[in-house]
Amino acid sequence: MSLDRDRAERLSLRRRPLVARLLEGADELAVIAGLGAPAWDCAAATGERALTFPLWGAMGGAAMMGLGLALAQPRRRVLTVTGDGELLMGLGALVTIGAAPAANLAIAVLDNERYGETGGQPTATAGVLDLAALARAAGFREALTVRDQAEVERARSLLLSAPGPVLVDFKVRAEDLPIVMPEKDGATLRDRFRRALGVA
């Protein structure tokens, strides 16, 4: 077995304060939050936020939703916040985004090396898989792995302002946290997001 089930419990970065820092003061940022813990993290950080679209399903689609939004809104920064399992389900999206690059698109992966909602089964990132290397190979302008708090500010700056597409793979501790549920009615989320962008 090449996966290390326990490694993620020793990682130092904590996802909740990390996401809170990424979104702090970024009022104009449009956010797509992948299903499960990344959506809970965003809700915990900001409460209900019109320009955050949390997904409750559509696993594998968060990065592509970010691309469609970024192409439609080229002057606005778009950040997809998602998990390693969610990204892995739609891994071809990295190829599609690399080939159809949007300078305003960034992806933050909260990589706890687990399928956290289903019992903590290890994902491929618990082994040799290097998501940042994949993104670089696909043509992302910036892609890096962040393990330490000391690297967070530079990573945040890249995510929020460097020419994209940018991907940061944040290696975060596997931990059980309280679930903070955002709005789940899809039409409500759609309408409030579009109104906040002024396109409704």
Partner 1 sequence: MDWPGAIFEQLKAADVRQLAHVPDAGHARLLRLAEAEPKVRVVTLTTEEEGIALLAGAWLGGQRGVLLMQSSGVGNCINMLGLAKTCRLPLLMLVTMRGEWAEFNPWQVPMGRATPGVLAAMDTAVLRIERAEDAAETVAGAVRLAFEGGPAAVAVLIAQRLIGAKTFGK
Among 25, 57, 119, 178, binds partner 1 (CB under 8 A): 57
Question: Judged by CB, which is closer to partner 1: 10, or 75?
Answer: 75
Cα–Cα distance list, 8 to 1, 26, 90, 129, 133 (Å): 16, 29, 22, 14, 19
CA distance 129 to 67: 23
CA distance 120 to 175: 9
Contact at 8 Å (CB) between 172 and 112? Answer: yes
Crossing angle of helices 62-72 and 92-99, in 10° steps, is 20
Question: Judged by CB, which is closer to partner 1: 8, or 94?
Answer: 94
Query: Closest separation between CB of residue 39 and partner 1, Å?
Result: 14
**Residue 194 near partner 1 by CB under 8 A:** yes
> Could you tell me which stretch among 41-49, 95-103, 124-132, 171-179 binds partner 1 (CB under 8 A)?
95-103
**Residue 190 near partner 1 by CB under 8 A:** yes
Residue 198 — φ and ψ, nearest 5°?
75, 25
Query: Closest separation between CB of residue 180 and partner 1, Å?
Result: 21
Question: Judged by CB, which is closer to partner 1: 42, or 70?
Answer: 70
**Residue 173 near partner 1 by CB under 8 A:** no
> Could you tell me which stretch among 118-126, 140-148, 159-167, 184-192 binds partner 1 (CB under 8 A)?
184-192
Kind and range of the H or E run holding 54: strand 52-54
Which residues pair with residue 169 across a beta bridge?
Answer: 109, 145
Question: Judged by CB, which is closer to partner 1: 11, or 63?
Answer: 63
By three-state DSSP, how is residue 169 classified?
strand
**Residue 100 near partner 1 by CB under 8 A:** yes
What are the residues binding partner 1 (CB under 8 A)? 30, 32, 53, 55-73, 90, 92-93, 95-96, 99-100, 186-187, 189-190, 193-194, 197-199
